[in-house]
Amino acid sequence: MEPEGNFVTTRIVILWRLFLIRLLTLQLTFALAPTNALPGCPQRCGDVEIPYPFGIGPSCSREGFTLNCTFSDGTYKPFLNNIEFLNISFLLGQARIANGVSSQCYNSKNHSLTYNNWQMNLAASSPYRFSSTLNKFTTVGCDTLAYIAISDTAHRYRSGCVSVCEDKESLTNGSCSGIGCCQTAIPKGIGYYAVRFDDNFNSSDTYWFSPCGYAVLVEEGAFEFSTSYVTTGALRGRKLPLVLDWAVRNKTCRQARRNTTSYACVSDNSECVDSGNGPGYLCNCSKGYQGNPYLPHGCRDIDECANKNGSSCSGVCHNTQGGYWCSCPPGTHGNPYNGTCYQNQNQKLPLAVKLATGIGISLLLILIIFLCIHIICEKRKLIKVKEKNFQEHGGKLLLEEIGKQQGLGFKIFTEEELEQATNKFHRNNILGHGGYGTVYKGILKDNRVVAIKKAKIIGERQKKEFGKEMLILSQINHKNIVKLLGCCLQVEVPILVYEYVSNGTLFQLIHRNSHGIHLSLEARLRIALESAEALAYLHSLASPPIIHGDIKSSNILLDDHFTAKVSDFGASMLAPRDEAQFVTLVQGTCGYLDPEYLQTYQLTTKSDVYSFGVVLLELITGKKALYFEGNEEETNLSSNFLSAMKENRFGELLDDRIKNDEEMERISEIAQLAKACLNVKGEERPLMKEVAEELDRLRKMKQHPWDQHSNPTEIESLLSNPSSYCGAEITSHYSLEKKAVLNIESGR
């Protein structure tokens, strides 16, 4: 027989091991917090939780449960087509949506009736049916008779509800008994409804009430009748909650279990329940489990011991998978389920038990201390990394200069502020991709909408000069240049914050016609002039001068009034004064790059002039910088243009939307200006200031026709140097893959 002391010690060791296992299990549970969405999919859209089988996008949802997360009224909301979802419950198999109120209004001036009738058609194959238990068809008004036409897959029904009233005293708040308000039920399995009013019942005789009557299918518990609905017409144009019953259609549980690939109840410890509203089924977690039964391992054990209301244990509670059991505390005996545990007489804890308990508590405290130390060290390490990045990017110098210059509208943001503004840089907030990074739409704490750019890489020279260059760029204040509002320097590659320009890019306006408008020659000249003036400002008036380095139509944004704003300084640099002007890596966009820059690695203001010349060609030809001819071969616009000018067939390239005899003189002069900008030799190209002046003169030709031929010497001087840039030379510089065309469209 084993000695009693050894038995007690062995039991204590076992209990201690069980305690450690339980502690590690709890830590793992907290580390892997349960989620109700598929891994990698959004869990929320605005304030609405999106549980699977619902999801944002088809890859995140089961068929039939796909929603769109749309920015509306200042926040993100989930929609199915044009139906807004207010909340979703997978436990009850229900969802609330916003439903419009139908109205019939009497016009006393012309004695006519106007209607705003709503209807909703949920496809028979869709998961949704109108709840027959929670919704009521409701009519509001004096002398109002409304009908609801409803149908399921096999039958059509029609029902009506009439509300009348004699005077204001007959109306009662909260009462829907037929006086001013009437309600009626709908049958099960309904997926379609439409509202109609009876013309013979209207408010033409009730001059002291609202001239409108209303009807709506609404959640009964969310609607409370108010006399103001009748007296003031407060319901007109509103939307009210409507409850949908949803299920996995159109099989019973028995039928669904036969096909394991499509069976929705995939979690262990889940159960199938037939739908109570139309054919189909729902999934529930088994008793003792909770979570999402539509996800693998979605049903998790309920810890009844942690939730006092989940167990009836008055003693020591022991949780098990799907249940629990109870025992009396040490030193007591009795029935722990009903609270009758009595103290054992003359029983003392053995010394070994006391010793083991003390050791266990000590080890637990040591473990907690080590965990706290580890967390503190990691946080300090992260802070040091952020401080290092901040210093390397010139943050200290930038802070000092911002403090000196009062009223400078430039802010240094933290990484946390920008993550909050972009929902942690969620892909739904992406505005576009460029050669230098990704641009996100963000909303700051003060509700300002901004464009936030995360660059891909930054060179060592740029890193050292970044703070100084940010200070210079922040002082640029021109109506045709996107304003730089701030930056974040805590990250390895700085993040830039710009003002948000809402109307897309010049590339989209020319080549995609996203606005569906006719772009006249006058409008094209205005956009070209505004862009040229912005570049002339950077080259001539900024101190020091700034070279943009990536001028293209997709980097010219348009605001609500289609005013041009030059953006994306990802390739920009201050005008160099020493050997730093020679770069080791050519940057820019294929189709717009200065051929002299490609050969000499020397970026100058004349490089921007060349790129702007390509933009001018896009405006008058409507073609992309790189496009495909009928033989499916990639064609360079500038090369084709120069060849056409040389062969006197430039008219073939013109955009048909602006080609007319009255404007051919101005179009020809624009072409000559573009040709001058595309000169193979940078020194023979005009200055950006001269380009802007010439565009301004061409705009005024329409306004002052008597001045069309003024200053011929000046024009001849500007355009006298013909381009010797042949197509063969261009081909040698631009023999890149055809996918480079996509890079033109994606920049912002």
Look up residue 7 and give its two tokens.
């038995």
Decide: 139 and 181 in contact? Cβ < 8 Å.
yes
CA–CA dist 453, 570 (Å, integer): 9
DSSP state letters, 702-741: HH-GGGTT--HHHHHHHH-S-----HHHHHHH----TTHH
User: Which residues lie closer than 8 Å to 472 by C-beta, 6 or more apart?
Assistant: 542, 543, 544, 546, 574
Looking at per-residue pLDDT, the higher value among 38 and 396 belongs to 38
Decide: 556 and 567 in contact? Cβ < 8 Å.
yes
Q: Count the alpha carbons within 13 Å of 66 in the hemisphere toward its beta carbon.
A: 7
Q: What is the mean pLDDT of residues 467-479?
A: 79
Looking at per-residue pLDDT, the higher value among 631 and 319 belongs to 319
Least confident of 32-36, 358-362, 603-607: 32-36
Decide: 608 and 537 in contact? Cβ < 8 Å.
no
Looking at per-residue pLDDT, the higher value among 316 and 499 belongs to 499
Residue 526 has pLDDT above 90, yes or no: yes
User: Which residues lie closer than 8 Å to 739 by C-beta, 6 or more apart?
Assistant: none
pLDDT band at 632 (very low <50, low <70, confident <90, very high): low
CA–CA dist 52, 132 (Å, integer): 24
pLDDT band at 16 (very low <50, low <70, confident <90, very high): low
Burial of 283 (0-12, 13-18, 19+ CB in 10 A): buried
Can you give the three-state secondary structure of 158-176, one letter per residue? Answer: EEEEEEECCCHHHCCCCCC
At 398 the pLDDT is 76
CA–CA dist 165, 172 (Å, integer): 11
Q: pLDDT tens digit string along 485-521? A: 888 888 888 888 989 998 888 998 988 765 567 888 9
Helix, coil or strand: residue 292: coil
pLDDT band at 231 (very low <50, low <70, confident <90, very high): confident
Residue located via tokens 């010394």: 351
Residue 471 has pLDDT above 80, yes or no: no
CA–CA dist 450, 482 (Å, integer): 11
Listed residue (715, 511, 519, 726) closest to 623, CA to CA: 511
CA–CA dist 595, 724 (Å, integer): 12
CA–CA dist 519, 315 (Å, integer): 81
Q: What is the mean pLDDT of residues 282-286?
A: 94
Q: What is the mean pLDDT of residues 624-631?
A: 76
Looking at per-residue pLDDT, the higher value among 35 and 445 belongs to 445
| Chain centre to alpha carbon of residue 474 | 27
Number of C-beta neighbours around residue 242 at 10 A: 24
Decide: 203 and 114 in contact? Cβ < 8 Å.
no
Residue 290 has pLDDT above 70, yes or no: yes
CA–CA dist 462, 445 (Å, integer): 30
**319: phi > 0 → left, psi -120 to 50 → alpha, else beta; which?**
beta
| Chain centre to alpha carbon of residue 396 | 34
User: Which residues lie closer than 8 Å to 441 by C-beta, 6 or more apart?
Assistant: 422, 429, 430, 431, 449, 450, 451, 452, 500
Topology at the third CATH level for domain 502-746: Transferase(Phosphotransferase); domain 1 (1.10.510)
Q: pLDDT tens digit string along 711-745? A: 444 333 333 333 333 232 332 222 222 222 223 23
Looking at per-residue pLDDT, the higher value among 706 and 124 belongs to 124
pLDDT band at 204 (very low <50, low <70, confident <90, very high): low
| One-letter identity of residue 414 | T
Report the share of the chain in percent with pLDDT over 90.
41
pLDDT band at 464 (very low <50, low <70, confident <90, very high): low
CA distances from 227 to 140, 212, 221 (A): 10, 13, 18
At 516 the pLDDT is 64
Angle, CA 43 vertex, CA 39 and CA 46 arms, to 5°: 155
Q: Which H or E element spans position 192?
A: strand 192-197
* DSSP single-letter state for residue 122: -
CATH superfamily of 367-500: Phosphorylase Kinase; domain 1 (3.30.200.20)
At 465 the pLDDT is 62
Residue 35 has pLDDT above 70, yes or no: yes
Q: What is the mean pLDDT of residues 257-261?
A: 88
- Which residue(s) pair with 218 in the sheet? 136
The β-bridge relationship of strands 495-499 and 449-455 is antiparallel
Maximum separation of any 2 CA atoms in the chain, in Å:
124
Q: What is the mean pLDDT of residues 262-269?
A: 93
Q: Count the alpha carbons within 13 Å of 663 in the hemisphere toward its beta carbon.
A: 22
Decide: 234 and 228 in contact? Cβ < 8 Å.
yes
At 27 the pLDDT is 43
At 328 the pLDDT is 85
The β-bridge relationship of strands 135-140 and 181-184 is antiparallel
Q: pLDDT tens digit string along 167-203? A: 888 888 998 988 999 999 999 989 999 999 998 888 7
Long-range contacts of 22-25 (CB under 8 A, 24+ apart): 23/364
Domain regions of the chain by residue span: 94-246, 367-500, 502-746
Q: pLDDT tens digit string along 647-657? A: 988 888 898 88
pLDDT band at 458 (very low <50, low <70, confident <90, very high): low
pLDDT band at 31 (very low <50, low <70, confident <90, very high): very low
Residue located via tokens 């348009």: 558
Listed residue (459, 694, 499) closest to 580, CA to CA: 459
CA–CA dist 670, 629 (Å, integer): 24
* DSSP single-letter state for residue 541: I
At 372 the pLDDT is 93
Look up residue 486 and give its two tokens.
């701030």
Decide: 72 and 63 in contact? Cβ < 8 Å.
no
Residue 25 has pLDDT above 50, yes or no: no
Instruction: Return the active site residues.
Output: 550
Decide: 183 and 220 in contact? Cβ < 8 Å.
yes
At 633 the pLDDT is 63
Q: Which H or E element spans position 78?
A: strand 75-80
Q: Tell me: is residue 454 an annotated ligand-binding position.
A: yes
The β-bridge relationship of strands 83-89 and 181-184 is unpaired
At 133 the pLDDT is 94
At 345 the pLDDT is 64
Q: What is the mean pLDDT of residues 138-165?
A: 89
Number of C-beta neighbours around residue 2 at 10 A: 7
CA–CA dist 691, 724 (Å, integer): 19
Q: What does the radius of gyration of the chain's CA atoms come to, in whole angstroms?
A: 36
Helix, coil or strand: residue 130: strand
